């Protein structure tokens, strides 16, 4: 399992799980911690992936501006 959190370290912005269905999915505040705990309960040691771009939540126009700046002006 590989998991990426948001800028606050609270939510889950991306997750790769193999095999599929290894753990359930959690949403909302605290989901990152819950996903880590669920993985550990199944005996899996999750790998935390850190990415400045992936940690962004694109919820408001300023978020898109931040993403564009990180991408050197390109939306990718």
Distance CA 71, CA 2 (A): 23
For the question of whether the overall pTM of this predicted structure is more than 0.85, the answer is no
15 with 3: CB under 8 angstroms? yes
The domain ranges of the chain are 2-70
Average model confidence (pLDDT) for the chain? 90
Enumerate residues 6+ apart whose C-beta is below 8 A from 46: 1, 2, 3, 35, 36, 39, 40
**Per-residue pLDDT reduced to its tens digit, 55-70:** 988 878 888 888 888 8
């Amino acid at each position: 399992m590989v998991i990426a959190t948001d800028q606050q370290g609270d939510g889950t912005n991306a997750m790769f799980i193999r095999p599929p269905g290894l753990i359930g999915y959690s949403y909302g505040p605290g989901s990152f911690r819950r996903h880590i705990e669920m993985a550990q309960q199944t005996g899996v040691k999750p790998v935390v992936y850190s990415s400045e771009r992936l940690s962004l939540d694109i919820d408001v126009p300023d978020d898109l501006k931040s993403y564009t700046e990180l991408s050197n002006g390109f939306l990718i």
